[in-house]
Amino acid sequence: MPESPIRKLAPYAEGAKANGKNVYHLNIGQPDIETPEVALNAIKNMDRKIIEYSHSGGFIEYREKLAMYYKSVNIDVNVEDILITIGGSEALIFGFMTTCDPEDEVIIPEPFYANYNGFSVAAGINVVPVTAKIENGFALPPVAEIEKKITAKTKAIVICNPGNPTGYLYSKEELEQLRDIVKQHNLFLFADEVYREFCYDGAKPISVMNLEGIDQNVIMIDSVSKRYSMCGARIGALVSKNKEVMAAALKFGQARLSPPTIDQIAAEAALNTPQSYFDNVIEEYVERRNITVEGLNNIPGVFCPTPSGAFYCVAKFPVDSAEKFCQWLLEDFEYNGETVMMAPANGFYSTKGEGVQEARIAYVLNKDSLRSAIKCLEEALKVYPGRE
């Protein structure tokens, strides 16, 4: 099981704090945005004598309301197309175990959410990466590059849209290219769409559930974690119109008994969150993104493409190794008693040697903290011994 690049430098951050440094955590996608009040109130006002098991597929009342939510964002699914899971993570693991046999392969554009590696290990399958480049903002690699990776063992293509760690939002043309590959080779298309609500500059997300002609091939992964700033409420969903997939996935759901009852109560209530909440959150994230990306690009030698969604960006630094740089920031550097923690991006690639100079940054802190963090990075690069 691989280490998480998001968390593996945690001991160095703890050491920095023990030495009195203030650490700006840009390494993890834990928003500081408040959870919607309707969700918190549902927990506070819960009137139950027993915290019982739910149905293995999730409470029917929650799935009914979730189906209504999907219809409101132009995704036409019904209750039987939804399986509630313990976070989006379990949804993807269930999806892998349902559609793949041991040693099968899934193709994933890299860099990708590092835990996809862990999920594939748990399911006994192999990740086959196809590399997207920072120079063109991490757009979908050419179709020819993807098709070169397809073998007799290939069962699926996996995307995250908008993307973690890059914030890239796939265009309609890119998604239709994927649809055509999936259709031609009879593959599954997994889409992690947990950042759907976070699209910027007028961009609109396109769900794989709306791609024509591949209803039976598409599996959507969803979660309440980021949408409602409820990362600790471990509620996700596996969504597909493929009845065989859903029936098999439910068997895995039965084996782990049920998703958590209290968290489902909060998640169901969160569906009543007013649009004004998202309007305010998106406005805040756009400002944070601009502070972060513009600040990074103003540092000599740093390059960071502007993401269209989620709340991450990947920057390339003029250093020998971003991993060494990230560790050095925590162990040996401070600026006015402060330093920064980032996630080395090589851990988001499967291909050895890719992303060595890159780091993922989660712009989830308040604007003043982000400005201070960028200033720390600027000063650090002036004195880092491995600067190139």
Q: What is the pLDDT of residues 324-346, one digit of tens each?
A: 999 999 999 999 999 999 999 99
Q: Across 168-278, where does the E strand assignment appear?
A: 188-192, 218-223, 236-239
Question: Whole-angstrom Cα distance, residue 92 to residue 85?
Answer: 9
Determine the pLDDT at residue 348. Answer: 93
What domains sit in the chain, N to C, each tagged with a CATH number? 10-34+276-383 (3.90.1150.10), 37-270 (3.40.640.10)
Determine the pLDDT at residue 168. Answer: 96
Q: In which band, very low, low, confident or very high, does the pLDDT at 193 lie, cut at 50, 70 and 90?
A: very high
| Sequential DSSP letters for 65-123 | HHHHHHHHTT----GGGEEEESHHHHHHHHHHHHH--TT-EEEEEES--THHHHHHHHH
* The amino acid at 47: D
Question: Whole-angstrom Cα distance, residue 286 to residue 293?
Answer: 10
Question: Whole-angstrom Cα distance, residue 361 to residue 317?
Answer: 12
Mean pLDDT of the region 121-143: 95
* pLDDT tens for each residue of 270-307: 999 999 999 999 999 999 999 999 999 999 999 999 99
SS3 category, 345:
helix
Q: Look-up: residue for tokens 């993570």?
A: 89
- Cβ partners under 8 Å of residue 158, min gap 6: 92, 106, 107, 108, 112, 116, 190, 191, 192
CA distances from 350 to 89, 111, 149, 327 (A): 19, 8, 14, 21
Q: In which band, very low, low, confident or very high, does the pLDDT at 1 lie, cut at 50, 70 and 90?
A: confident
